[in-house]
Amino acid sequence: MKKYFLLLWLLACATARAQELSITFLDVGQGDAALIRSPAGKNVLVDAGPSPTRVADWLRRAKVDTVHLAIASHNHADHIGGMPRVLENIPVGSYMENGMPATTRTYAHIVTLLEERGITVLRADPRRIDLGGGAFIRILSSTPDPKSQNDASIGLELTYGSFHALFTGDAEQRQRLFWSRDSVGRVQVLKVSHHGSVNGTDRAWLEPLRPCVAIISVGAKNSFNHPSKAVERLLDSVRAKTFRTDRVGQVSLRADSNGTFTVSAGKPPRATTLDASCRQSR
Amino acid sequence: MPPKPLIVSIDRVEKGVAVAESDAGHRYEVETARFREKPTEGMVYRVPVDAEGEPRWESAHADPVEAARRRRQLGNRMNNLRKGDSGGDVKL
């Protein structure tokens, strides 16, 4: 009888886990990479960090056998450095980038791999991407005629029921102003733009978002003095709990469609569960 | 015979640091002040190297024609790849 209840309990746990959305912000040093896994098991990679091998190795260790969509927020090496190895080693269903070509060898290599493997490239137009299981990504409209890769960053709003997360690439003021007009509202999780640089965040941008959790993906002792102390103070002032990957390593989130989510980070990982209004729920 | 110059592309410029990527795949972080003219994102440079193989950034020559050629060619190839996108919402 005990065995029967244990089996039922394990089955219930597995079903509950399958209905969760997960986001993992990888520790890639000075750069960005995150993996979204929908409740239906669809994997979306957002950026691939600066290292040629780190993200592909992580995906292999995490037993990710398919990336259904790979997105390069913009074509800087600290976001696409690991993309060639991902395209070489893991089946990728579709690819999205910002439409502003770079002149680097890494970018040229990506174009060649996309051609060789016949991977469909999606335009970063305003559109909805259904990840299955009730999770969606909305591609935000982009500022016309951007002058730099940062300001051509693709903005992604990830929604799963009452849970919302915003991915911002390295967007600077011009792009953020544009997004502010694109009905971007309250989010539970914000991937802080441009590694916490002062040109990636300001009060006008943060106040409507009021994130519960802010992720700064940044390398220790980087050459650019990211993140800015002023940005960290701003995040504190809107009561966002900030996680820096240089301090806590990888940050993992699991979200329920009711907006409740659990953040695990640190060595060893410590878990905190918050509800959709940022209240610690257990 | 002098060593061949490095060919690098400026990946980005941040806080007085230019991140350059060579066509051999090496990345360099170089103070922008070391260039004769302030480097810009996407510009291609031919950089002489000294006898030890170290790049002489002070003598780097910008090659705007090569930078434009790369942008045009890679942009065209990427546009061809986008032809498979029928537009609208997507279900994965």
In tens, the pLDDT along A71-119 reads: 999 999 999 999 999 999 999 999 999 999 999 999 999 999 999 999 9
**Whole-prediction pTM:** 0.94
Residues ≥6 apart with Cβ < 8 Å to A127: A138, A139, B87, B88, B89, B90
**Cβ B81–A76 below 8 Å, yes or no?**
no
Task: Give me the residues paired with residue A156 across strands.
Answer: A139, A167
| Token couple for A127 | 């559109």
A182: pLDDT confidence band, cut at 50, 70 and 90? confident
Ranges A105-119, A196-210, B49-63, most confident = A105-119
Task: Give me the residues paired with residue A255 across strands.
Answer: A21, A261
- Which of A68, A105, A149 is the closest to B92 by Cβ? A68
Rounded to a whole number, what is the distance in Å from the CA of B4 to chain A's nearest CA?
Answer: 18
B42 at the A interface (CB within 8 A)? yes
Quote the pLDDT of residue A132.
96
Residue A213 above 60 pLDDT?
A: yes
- Whether the Cβ atoms of residue B29 and residue B17 lie closer than 8 Å to each other: yes
Q: Which of A14, A154, A179, A178 is nearest to A76 (CA)?
A: A154
Mutation target to probe the B interface, by most B beta carbons within 10 A, among A21, A30, A104 is A104
**Cβ B89–A129 below 8 Å, yes or no?**
yes
Mutation target to probe the B interface, by most B beta carbons within 10 A, among A103, A121, A172 is A103
| Token couple for A227 | 């993140």
For range B52-76, the mean pLDDT:
96
> What are the DSSP E strand ranges found in A54-152?
67-71, 92-96, 120-122, 127-132, 135-139
**Widest distance between CA atoms in chain B:** 58
Mutation target to probe the A interface, by most A beta carbons within 10 A, among B11, B30, B43, B70 is B11
- Which of A103, A123, A129 is the closest to B67 by Cβ? A103
Quote the pLDDT of residue A177.
86
B52: pLDDT confidence band, cut at 50, 70 and 90? confident
* % chain A with pLDDT above 70: 93
Quote the pLDDT of residue A180.
84
- Which of B21, B74, B85 is the closest to A121 by Cβ? B85
**Cβ B81–A114 below 8 Å, yes or no?**
yes
**Cβ B84–A121 below 8 Å, yes or no?**
yes
CA distance A95 to A79: 14
Quote the pLDDT of residue A276.
87
Give the residue extent of every domain in chain B.
Answer: 6-83
- Whether the Cβ atoms of residue A27 and residue A51 lie closer than 8 Å to each other: no
A280: pLDDT confidence band, cut at 50, 70 and 90? confident
B81 at the A interface (CB within 8 A)? yes
Residue A6 above 70 pLDDT?
A: no
**Which option is the CATH number for B6-83: 1.10.3470, 1.10.30, 2.40.50, 1.20.1300?**
2.40.50
Rounded to a whole number, what is the distance in Å from the CA of A8 to chain B's nearest CA?
Answer: 31
Chains A, B: CB contacts within 8 A come to 107
**Cβ A111–B78 below 8 Å, yes or no?**
yes
SS3 A86: helix
A73 at the B interface (CB within 8 A)? no
**Cβ A122–B85 below 8 Å, yes or no?**
yes
**Residue-averaged pLDDT of chain A:** 93
For range A127-142, the mean pLDDT:
96
CA distance A185 to A164: 9
B74: pLDDT confidence band, cut at 50, 70 and 90? very high
A7: pLDDT confidence band, cut at 50, 70 and 90? low
CA distance A65 to A83: 15
For range A149-161, the mean pLDDT:
97
* % chain B with pLDDT above 70: 99
CA distance A217 to A192: 8
B3: pLDDT confidence band, cut at 50, 70 and 90? confident
A130 at the B interface (CB within 8 A)? yes
